[in-house]
A = this chain, B = another copy of it.
């Protein structure tokens, strides 16, 4: 997967391992991210397979290995991108604790759900900022798909927060026995 994402970025122009990481952080990190520890070895592998080549660039004393995609690399990327989109049930770690919240006192449950919203909110705000920046800098039609994935990200965060809020409301209003206190009733 990572190798193809790198090829994808290289389809848009040559770049270095370091800059690749910057691009990812800026543009895909809300649905895909990678560390230097995986990017550099991936570039090495891509080089071995001759899907990319690099030239050493020294711009005003700054050393960089600038990678370019090869014709073989383009072919590999085009083959990959045309394949059907696989769907893997994606891990939603934040649901794991909530699944077992029957063991937590209701007040604590509400507090933690509110806490989760407060963690997600700044992430959402940040992505909104990125989206607005992008819509000013670039033609939305030209970058239609990238723009759409940002909208996905924002709406996804909103979806989670809205779901949390619904729970909080229900927990607060249904004063009757939502048995959210298996912990206490024991």
A residues touching B (Cβ–Cβ < 8 Å)?
Answer: 1, 4-5, 8, 11, 27-33, 77-78, 80-104, 108-109, 112-113, 115-116, 119-120, 123, 139, 141-146, 148-149, 151-152, 155-156, 159, 163, 167, 170, 174, 176-180, 183
Q: Report the bound CA distance from A86 to B167 in whole Å.
A: 18
User: Are B94 and A87 in contact, CB atoms less than 8 angstroms apart?
Assistant: yes
Number of copies of this chain in the oligomer?
2
User: Are A85 and B116 in contact, CB atoms less than 8 angstroms apart?
Assistant: yes
- Candidates B87, B113, B146, B178; contact of A116 at CB < 8 Å: B87
- Candidates B80, B96, B115; contact of A31 at CB < 8 Å: B96
User: Are B155 and A87 in contact, CB atoms less than 8 angstroms apart?
Assistant: no
Residues of B within 8 A of A77 (CB): 103
Q: Report the bound CA distance from A96 to B95 in whole Å.
A: 23
Q: Report the bound CA distance from A88 to B93 in whole Å.
A: 7
Residues of B within 8 A of A176 (CB): 141
